[in-house]
Every structure is written in C-alpha cells, then in structure tokens.
Amino acid sequence: MNPNHHKPILLAFFTLLLLQLQNPINASPSPPITALYAFGDSTVDSGNNNYIPTLFRSNHPPYGKSFPAKLSTGRFSDGKLATDFLASSLGLKSTIPAYLNPTVKPVDLLTGVSFASAGGGLDDRTAMLSSTLAMDKQWSYFEEAVRKMKSVVGDSETNRVIKNALFVISAGTNDMIYNVYDHALGRFISVSDYHDFLLSKVEAFVQRLHDAGARRIAVVGLPPIGCLPVQVTLGTFTSLPLPRIFRHRICSENQNADSRLYNQKLKNLNFRLNQRLRGSKVLHLDIYSPLMDMIKHPHKYGLEETLKGCCGTGLLEAGPLCKPLSRTCDDVSKYLFFDSVHPSQKAYSVIATFALQNVLPLL
C-alpha cells in the first residue's frame, strides 16, 4: 500500500486537532466586566481629595478644562483619566466617580467607583506626608461600599459583581519620589530594597482583594519617573546653570532604569500570584511603554511638548501651584503632561487604548 496515501488523512486530522485546541468547544467565554474599582494615587483619583483636609487638590481651574462643561472635578488632569476611558469602552459608564462624592448613590457603586487619593502611595508614610488616604483607609471605604451594595441588591448579586469586576491598583510613583529621590530616606535604603518593600504591599493588597472575591486585578507599573517634568526640572537644577533649564531638558535615565527594574519585579510577582491564587488573573498594566513611546515619537500621537506641563511654566507646578490664574498652553492636546507630574487627557486616552489592546483580552 502506498504510504503517501495516509498523508492527506493525517494532515486533515492534525488540522482539525489544531482548530479544536485553538477553539475548545467547552471553553465558555468569560463573563463581561461588571464594574471598575480603582485604588491608589492621583492617576486614578476622580476627586476623593475634595472631601478630605489636604492641600493635594485639583478641584479648581485650570484642571478640568477639557472635561465636559469644563468641570474641575478633582481629577489631576485637564480631563478624563485612563480609568474613565476604560469604563466607557467597557460600556459601564462615561466616567468613574469618586467614592466620597456625596452625589454617588449605593446603586452607582455596582458599576464602579474610585477609592484612590492623590498624593497617596503603597507606603503609609507617603499618605501621611500629604495628609491623604492610605491604602488601608481606601480598603475600609471599599468594605463600606460592599455593605452598601449588599443592602441594595443582596449578597449573591454583590458577590457576582465583585467576582466579574476589574480592580485597578495604581500607586508607587509618589513613594519613589517622596521617599527615595527627593527625601533623606533615599540615602538610607537601596532602590532595589525599597522596590521589594513596595511590592510586598502590592502582594498583601492583591491577597485582600482575592479574599474579598475579586478575580480580575490589574496592577499598574511605574511610569518613566525620570521623564516627569518635575523630575526633569529637579535633575537639571542640580547639574546645570539655571538659565539653561528652559532649553536643556532631558530625562533622568537612572530613575527610568529604576522604574524598569520595578516593572520587571512586578511582572514576576504577578506570575507568582497567578500560580498561587488559582482562578484569579493578576496582570501588569504597563504605562511605561506607551508613555515612553509618546516621548520618543510625539508626532505619531499629534504631540509637540513631552517634557513640560501645559500649566504655568510646566516645570514645577502641580496641585495648589497650578492655580486658576496660572497661564496655560494654547492647545493641551499637543501636550503629554497637563501639569509637572500628571498626564493630559490625550495621554490618558493613549494609555487606556494600550490597556484595552494588551491587558483586557487577557482578563
């Protein structure tokens, strides 16, 4: 018998097997994301700081100049945050409100809310320095929110919402800036050791979320901290004659290398957490790559200024220093940063698109 006679049959069999492996009939599609809950710092704070006694506020112009009705909501940007764009793309709601906003009703909690606090971090010392909400306090507000949801829709529906919700943890930048780069503590602790300390806090928080029923968790990595306008300014102050700071602006490669090291450690931690917390997805939401791409290839995104903020001189102003009377740039959509620390709405939309393409499919 001709041995080649079996080849087409074998080929057809393997093709069928391959298709079955790629499309297993019994694999049910993941249920849609029910809500988005955010914890951390100003990158995901929709205005909780408006309701606590702190100087770290942005509920005044020029913040919000690109927001609907030019509303200064307490978001540290000219408009929406990445979490707002994600929520609207997922069909949850147009923006994620701040938990402490008195207009937020218990029923609103079922589709998502932010517990984050600008100026906060993974390290409790960071929140103490800025009189903002530490992660423990944010957690206690989440527990309170769960009780409110249960009072509205009952235990099983609340548990279903939590199980299928997306939880975003975005913190770490303030910790590095306050406690390592611009603080005496930085002389006493190695960057790598401090990373490990922060990541132990991430691990504990993810464990808490898992114990509360969360199964889809995205942990945001560090941005290129050395390219934040304030860090560029401070780095330049120490190394150049003053008049040149307006001309000669370059990122701190050391600080960027630190961010990359942290992000690699975060990926390793997430891998371990996924092994341990069976049934959970713990993913790294990379903001370093999209921000760096915007800095290196601004014209691809219609950007013109990447190392100065739109508010004031763009070198140092943020929060209380970015004031209603501060001059602002003519066209904020051409700016990567709105103030000296925080991305513009345009940059946040790019980050959200990057997350939708690279992280959401894995959830």
Nearest residue to 173 (alpha-carbon basis) of 254, 252, 259 = 259
- The pLDDT value given to residue 30: 73
Residues 117-163: tens digit of each pLDDT = 999 999 999 999 999 999 999 999 999 999 999 999 999 999 999 99
CA–CA separation, 262 and 222 (whole Å): 7
Is 9 part of any domain?
A: no
Q: Which stretches of the chain are DSSP H helices?
A: 7-22, 82-89, 124-130, 135-153, 155-164, 173-176, 191-211, 229-237, 253-276, 288-296, 345-358
Q: Are strands 216-220 and 281-285 parallel, antiparallel or unpaired?
A: parallel
Residue 211, helix vs strand vs coil: helix
Give yes or no: 151 in active site. Answer: no
CB of 119 closer than 8 Å to CB of 56:
yes
Cα–Cα distance list, 96 to 32, 40, 88, 309 (Å): 17, 14, 9, 24
215 is in which domain, residue-wise? 33-225+254-300+342-362
- Note whether residue 305 is domain-resident: no
Residue 240 in domain: no
Q: Mind listing the pLDDT tens digit for each residue in 216-254?
A: 999 999 999 999 999 999 886 655 555 554 557 899 999
Cα–Cα distance measured from residue 176 to residue 353, given in angstroms and rounded to the nearest whole number: 26
Q: Which CATH number characterizes residue 260's domain? A: 3.40.50.1110
**Active site annotation includes 42:** yes
CB of 52 closer than 8 Å to CB of 131 = yes
- Is residue 23, in this structure, part of any structural domain at all? no
Residue 348 clears pLDDT 50, i.e. is over it: yes
The DSSP annotation for 38-105 comes to EEESTTT-SSGGGGSS-S----STTTTTTSGGG---S-SSSS--HHHHHHHHTTS-SSPPBTT-TT--
- Inside any domain, residue 281: yes
What domain count does the chain have?
1
Report helix, strand or coil for 34: coil
In a domain, 6, yes or no: no
- Whole-number Cα distances in Å, 191 to 41, 215, 265: 20, 31, 12
Known active-site residue 6? no
Say if CB 66 and CB 79 are below 8 A apart.
yes
Place of tokens 């944010």: 138
Confirm if 56 and 116 have CB atoms less than 8 A apart.
no
**pTM assigned to the model:** 0.89
In a domain, residue 210? The reply is yes
In a domain, 311, yes or no: no
Give me the catalytic one of 117, 339, 344, 349.
339
From 42, 66, 117, 170, active-site residue: 42
β-strand pairing of 305-309 with 335-337: parallel
DSSP string of 239-251, one letter each residue: TS-GGGGGT----
pLDDT tens per residue across span 181-217: 877 666 678 999 999 999 999 999 999 999 999 999 9
Residue 186: predicted pLDDT: 61
- 301-333 pLDDT, tens digit each: 999 999 999 999 999 899 999 999 899 999 999
Look at residue 5 in the predicted model and tell me its pLDDT: 53
Candidates 45, 58, 342, 349; catalytic one: 342
Torsion of CA 166, 355, 90, 275, to 10 degrees: -30
